[in-house]
Structures are given as structure tokens and as C-alpha cells.
Structure 1
Amino acid sequence: MGLGLVPLGVAFGVLVAQSGLAWWWASVFTAFVYAGSFEFLLVGLVAAVAPLATVATTALLVNLRHVFYALSFPLDRVRGRLGKAYGTFALTDEAYALTTGEQARGWPGRRILLLQLFMHLYWVGGATVGGLLGSVLPDGVTGLDFALTALFTVLALDAVRDRREDLPTPALALLSALAARVIAPGQLLPVAFALFTAALLARHLITRARNRHA
């Protein structure tokens, strides 16, 4: 997974450089923001000098899924305040997918933190190389912003295969995306995330209510 983040980071770095930003912004974004899909969106927002309120709202909607990740991420195995703080900061989709699977149930906190740290370093390193490379490449390279979507597609397919009994979740995600496409095609991603989050909350409340009456 870490090695897979290198070409993805390179794609992000090239995108940063070819968006009119200095190459070193790729290192800054990946080191201190470290939010995957939001970083790709952030490049466009920064390049367009979007209002801070727009940036904050987009960040909230795109990363709200991490609230649900925290419910089952094994942070309890990590020792020390500093370790827990970094484990929370470095909780990405990839880290969650690797640390909550069946094979990771016996992993100690040290291994979880090292996994997160190395993936972070792969991401920053790839983006830095991409930023430097993008500063010398000719303009007009297209499709780089789809790199993260491709990775998420693979992660989603793996998750569906491992948890076939939870098919309602990907079904809700698909319906949210289709509804967002109709409602607000220009803001598809944040609207889809908002709808999906609302659907998950509603399903959770309904399930809890049924369990109380059972």
C-alpha cells in the first residue's frame, strides 16, 4: 500500500506544480494537511483563491467520514499521548483499511503507528518528487486528478469483497453520488459526502431503535 502511494503522490505533486503553485507546496500539503482526496480539491481551491469559509466547509464535508473511522480504528492499542495524537492525525482511508481487517486484529500499537508513519513518508516523498518533476514538465498533462479516485475504487472493491454482508453501505454511497449528480453537479463530491453521511446516521439510528425494541 505504501509503495502504491508513491506514484499517487507523484501525480499529486505534478498537479500542484502545473496548477501555478510553487513545487514545495506539494511537500507542505502532504506533510501538514495529509488528507488525501481533500488535498486534490485543495489545490484547485487555493489556485482559485477560494474564500476560507468555502475551504473549511469543503474540508468538513469531505473528511467527515473519519468520524465513523474513529469508531473502529484500534487507537486503544497505541500508547502515549503523542502516539495517539499522531495516530489520529495519520488516520487515512488506506491506514483504516489495513488496520481494521481480520489480519490486523493482533497488531500492537507500535506496528500500527509505524504503518501510518511509513505511508505518510511515502506520500510526502512521492509528492515532493512530483512537485519537482512537474516544474520541468510541459503544461497540459491531464488526468492526474483521477489518480486518487482510481485508488479509492480499488479500496472500495476490496472492502466489498471482504464484507459481502454489508452491501447496503456501498449501495447508499452509489445512491448518494447519483442524487448529488442530479441535485448539484457542480459540487458533486461535497454534496455526495453530505448525503452519504446523513444516510449512515439515519441507518445507525434506525438500527439502534430496532435493537432496543427487540
Structure 2
Amino acid sequence: MDTEHAGRRLRSDLSRALADSGSVGLGAFPMGVAFGVLVVHSGLDWWWASVFSGLIYAGSLEFLLLGLVLAGAPLGQVALTAFTVNFRHVFYALSFPLHRVRGRAARAYSTFALSDEAYAVTAGPAARSYPGRRVLWLQVFIHLYWAGGATAGALLGAAVPAGVEGLDFAVTALFAVLALDAFRARPAPAVPALALGCALAARLAVPGGQLFVAFLLFAAGLLGHYAVVRNRPRPRRRRGKEATRV
């Protein structure tokens, strides 16, 4: 009976995780296809797309890493680029529900598969009740969308003309859609305004390290905003007859 119950729960978590990841998969799979096509057009064997997407699994970093590998960049430059681009994941870990995932192996994979898309889906109010297994399977499906798309794009890359432009814009387009979805779920005009201000300030102050500095400024701004909102006095509830008025 317990085995049957556990099987039903597993099937339920799988189906719900698949539904949760469906909207993200519509963007992640074509983005992976674009990456796979770029890999083949760059002169590498098709299986490199599967290796990059399966083992590195870093989205925008993979597009940058492809250019660095082809240019023969030093290992130090590759490491610095990877650290700068993926530094945002440090802040993701502050609110990602990793504590719900049970088991060392499951937690290790969940940490590895903490992508922008997985964080965007689990950051919504509805995801606060997701069990750990549902969160884990959500990450597995998103990983499969990306790696499967990259492999498919690499295998079909020869059919895509080499002169096609704009494939590398797929990452930016997906991030823009995720940002719009997050804003619709939690309308807070101050947050995108703060992000824009931090990006402009970093661009003017440190053009060579814009991304890293912008994330630091944005994180500091969010912490300051949270401190102000937390310490703001709450309006007192009315008592007596005034509390019953409509």
C-alpha cells in the first residue's frame, strides 16, 4: 500500500513538474537549438553541443565559452569570465528552495542545475508549496529541454544556412520573457527601475566589468530596499465600530 501511494505521489510530482516547466521549455529548447547550430557552424563536432549543454549547463556562458574556446583564450580568462557571468547564482541560492530537496545526490544535482529558468519558476508565490521532489524534477526537465535542444540543433545544423544571424540573441530574448513574467506575477516598478539604474551606473563607471558591478549594486539596492520595507511601520487596525464598517 505504501509502495502504491509512493508511486502515485511520484507520478503526480512528475506530471506537475512537467506542466510547471512547459512554458520555460518553449524558450529553453529553441535556445538550445540555436546553441547547437552555432557549435556546428563554428567547426566543432556535433557531440560538443551535448557535452557543453549537459556538463556545463550555463546558458549564456556556453555561448561566450564557445567563442573563448575557438579563440584559444587562456584558462585564467575563461575562469574569470565564468565567475563574472555566473556570479548571479550566488544570490539565487539565498531564496531557492534547496532545503526542500532530500538526499545528498539530489541536492548536489539541484545545486548544479540551479539555472535562471528554474529560479524564475520557483520564485513565484505558487511555488512556495512545491515539495522538494517537484522542484528537483522541474530542474531535470529544464535541463533536458536545453540539452535536448542543443543536441537537436547540432544534428540539424548542416540544414541551417551559415549566414543566419541573430541565433546568439536567443538567450537575451528568453531572459526578457522571464523578466516580464516575473513582473506580471509580482508588479513592483521599483525593482526594474533599480536594475536599469545599476546597469547604467556600472556601464559608465566600469565598462569592462559592467555585469559583475551591476549585480553587486543591484544586490546592495535590493537589500537596502528590503531593510526599508521591513522597518516601515504597519498601519494599525481599527478597533470597535470602525473595524466593522465597510
Q: TM-score range by the shorter chain?
A: 0.7 to 0.9
- State the match for 1:23 in structure 2: 46
Question: 1:2·1:119 contact (CA, 8 Å) conserved in 2?
Answer: yes
Distance 2:141 2:227 in 1: 41
TM-score, scaled relative to structure 2: 0.77
- 2:199 corresponds, among 155, 172, 177, to 177
- State the match for 2:152 in structure 1: 129
Distance 2:90 2:223 in 1: 15
The equivalences for 1:73-88 within 5 A come to: 73-88=96-111
Query: Structure 1 residues 69, 205: closer, same or farther in 2, change over 3 A?
Result: closer
Query: Structure 1 residues 112, 132: closer, same or farther in 2, change over 3 A?
Result: same
- The runs of 4+ residues in structure 1 deviating greater than 6 Å are 208-212
Whether 2:71 is the aligned partner of 1:48: answer yes
Query: Structure 1 residues 201, 10: closer, same or farther in 2, change over 3 A?
Result: closer
The equivalences for 1:161-176 within 5 A come to: 161-165=184-188, 167-176=189-198
Shift of 1:136: 4.4
Question: 1:172·1:199 contact (CA, 8 Å) conserved in 2?
Answer: no
Query: Structure 1 residues 75, 19: closer, same or farther in 2, change over 3 A?
Result: same
Letter in 2 for 1:169: V
- 1:89 corresponds, among 112, 115, 127, to 112
Whether 2:87 is the aligned partner of 1:64: answer yes
- C-alpha offsets along residues 82-134 of structure 1, whole Å, 9 cap, x if unaligned? 01100100001110111121111111111111111111111111100101111
- State the match for 1:13 in structure 2: 36
Percent sequence identity is: 62
Question: 2:39·2:66 contact (CA, 8 Å) conserved in 1?
Answer: yes
Deviates more, 1:134-143 or 1:27-36: 134-143
Question: 2:206·2:213 contact (CA, 8 Å) conserved in 1?
Answer: no
Query: Structure 1 residues 170, 205: closer, same or farther in 2, change over 3 A?
Result: closer
Distance 1:57 1:162 in 2: 34
Gaps of 5+ in 1: none
Letter in 2 for 1:202: A
Distance 2:167 2:33 in 1: 9
Query: Structure 1 residues 20, 180: closer, same or farther in 2, change over 3 A?
Result: farther
- 1:200 corresponds, among 197, 218, 222, to 218
Whether 2:181 is the aligned partner of 1:154: answer no
* Count of equivalent residues: 209
Secondary structure, counterpart of 1:138 in structure 2 = coil
Secondary structure, counterpart of 1:135 in structure 2 = helix
Gaps of 5+ in 2: 1-23, 234-246
Question: 2:33·2:152 contact (CA, 8 Å) conserved in 1?
Answer: yes
Distance 2:95 2:206 in 1: 32
